[in-house]
Structure 1
Amino acid sequence: MHPTSRLYRSSVVLALCAALVGAPAAAAEPAAPAPPVITADQVMPHLDALQQIADRNGGNRAHGTPGYRDSVAYVKAALDRAGFRTALHRFTRDGVTGYNLIADWPGGDPEHVVFAGAHLDSVPMGPGINDNGSGSAALLATALQVSKAGLTPDRHLRFAWWGAEEGGLVGSRAYVKDLSAADRERIDVYLNVDMAGTTREKQLWLVVDDDPAATAAFKDWFAARDLPTFDIGIGGSDHVSFDEAGIPVGGFATGVDDCIHEACDRVENVNPRTETLSTNALINAVWQLAARH
């Protein structure tokens, strides 16, 4: 090689090195915010409040009773203070007006909705604190964490507390029936939580196996903590109303206990550790799915 050629090549290499050293680093994709982790004292007070509501109103929080209306008022007030847009969706069951509580977190893509729900009503025989005050409390604690974190999700976040579920998924079916075809299309996934705090020596989380991303979010979270799960397919809670309309669903439950639909389904019938684990699993799933398109 001619000496001049060597000199030219060296100059080019040096210039490229200088350019690379001085070039700004490529902008990294912003990492999705890590989900918060809550403790029992952030979720169990909601169950205490629902128990007190039942105690003041004949021992239950069933559809059409003051106990149910006070339960809705308690959850709605907490969400309103936290900055959610809340609305009551009305329906009729047995000649009595029922109420679903719907709460939207401002922001996120309205064409892509992550929707989480739980039924709030009990049966007339008891206060329904595990079935399903536990799911309702987990859902409320999750929503309040969204507000506390000032979460700016990619997808729009919506939460709901259903009425008259114990009468046969009445509230959730009425809500889905009243949605337009376009509004149904906007829901990317519906997540349901039912009986989140069952007291059992060997706990098992029953995971709704339908939407792949939702199933993975729950199962991976439980597996990372050596918590056993069991796939239940679609199962039989409020998410069935959404599945019937062709909306992908997910969620979980912790199984039936000895006090289901009985007067003994009180706050003492909820395992605080199980309830806290369930709430954190829901928070993690909401955080994950809210950041996806």
Structure 2
Amino acid sequence: MRTLLAAVLATALLTPATTATADPAPAAAAPDIPVAAVQGHLARFDAIAAANGGNRAHGRPGYRASIDHVKSIVDSAGFRTTLQPFSYRGATGWNLVADWPGGDESDVLLTGAHLDSVTTAPGVNDNGSGSAAVLEVALAVAREKPATKRHLRFAWWGAEELWMIGSAHYVNTLPAAERAKIKAYLNVDMIGSVNTAYFVLDGDRYPAGSVAVERALKEYYARIGVPVEDLDMGGRGDHASFTRHQIPVGGPFTGAEGRKTAAQARKWGGTAGAPYDPCYHRACDTARNIDVTALDRNTDAVAHAVWTLAT
């Protein structure tokens, strides 16, 4: 997560028209995503960083090992994958894009997360947490095979920490006709901060249709009784690569180096006056730097949004 407090995002997803003779069948509920599986991916990202100089940064071997790990899993699950190279600061970076067969390919719901870390950290919360959540939601799609009206696409971006380079390369180099098929982008970045906040990117501040993404996420938090706050993250995050092309966006966020207020501590627990993530961009951003409850809730919120917006 390139930076921190501020909210964005949410998406307009068109609801298919009903027929005059029958009501549509209710959409299937999203499955519960096992948080232990998400933690397993985080442990793997942590081990990859430890074996590769303590980071998973752009142009470093830890990043390539991370994306190879994710690709092997989604390949085995039956996704159609594309490994997209790009060059930045004299090094090759990579985006991974995984399409699940089915749905209307002219109506794409894209869910993504940046997979890189900064050079000073293993990047387990920032942003192994989002990457692992997207991976497990994609695997849930492969297991459940939901009947979706939308086409489901998942992505892992490189070089976000150098200012959203990978996601910008992806969306900017798409032919205009292909870019127009992406009707919403759900960004998942830093969802396990130990001094947890529950932020949802504010759809009113982003391209028309973003409110639908915001609404889908908030439905889940309301169901489990967790209060949320709207957040405007401006252009700091991969969502910004899509808003520049007027693609609706949204996503959850648990906070970075910003400090929790007293009111937020009363609402969510934790420590007032302390950073949401005390290991932000530091070497201590390991698998121990994760609030498992927040990781669990936010991963399930992402799954709920994907099922709600796509089916």
Under a length normalisation based on structure 2, what TM-score does the superposition of the two structures give? 0.83
Say yes or no: does 1:263 pair with 2:300: no
- 8 Å CA contact retained: 1:204, 1:228: no
Equivalent residue, structure 2, for 1:273 = 293
Larger relative contact order (Cα-Cα within 8 Å, sequence gap ≥ 6)? 2
Q: Which amino acid aligns with 1:238?
A: D
Deviation of residue 28 (structure 1)? 5.2
- 8 Å CA contact retained: 2:96, 2:156: yes
Equivalent residue, structure 2, for 1:223 = 222
- 8 Å CA contact retained: 1:204, 1:227: no
Equivalent residue, structure 1, for 2:199 = 206
Deviations 1:233-278 (A, max 9, x none): 3532100110011111111111011111110000000111111111
Say yes or no: does 1:287 pair with 2:307: yes
Q: Which amino acid aligns with 2:252?
A: F
Secondary structure of the 1:55 match is helix
Equivalent residue, structure 2, for 1:163 = 158
Q: What is the CA RMSD across the aligned residues, in angstroms?
A: 1.2
Equivalent residue, structure 2, for 1:16 = none
Deviations 1:162-205 (A, max 9, x none): 000000100011111101111121111000011010101xx322
Q: Write the mapping of 1:45-194 to structure 2, written as runs, cut at 5 A.
A: 45-194=40-189
Q: Which amino acid aligns with 2:150?
A: R
Secondary structure of the 2:241 match is helix
- 8 Å CA contact retained: 1:196, 1:274: yes
Deviation of residue 91 (structure 1)? 0.9
The range that moved more, 155-164 or 203-212, is 203-212
Task: Spell out structure 1 runs of 4+ moving beyond 6 A.
Answer: none
**Larger radius of gyration between Structure 1 and Structure 2:** 1
Q: Which amino acid aligns with 2:25?
A: P
- 8 Å CA contact retained: 2:187, 2:251: yes
Aligned-pair identity (%): 49
Deviations 1:33-52 (A, max 9, x none): 11101232121101011111
Of Structure 1 and Structure 2, which has the larger fraction of its residues in helix? 1
Query: Any stretches of 5+ residues in structure 1 without a counterpart?
Result: 1-25
- 8 Å CA contact retained: 1:122, 1:166: yes
Q: Distance in 2 between matches of 1:85 and 1:189?
A: 20
Q: Distance in 1 between matches of 2:233 and 2:211?
A: 12
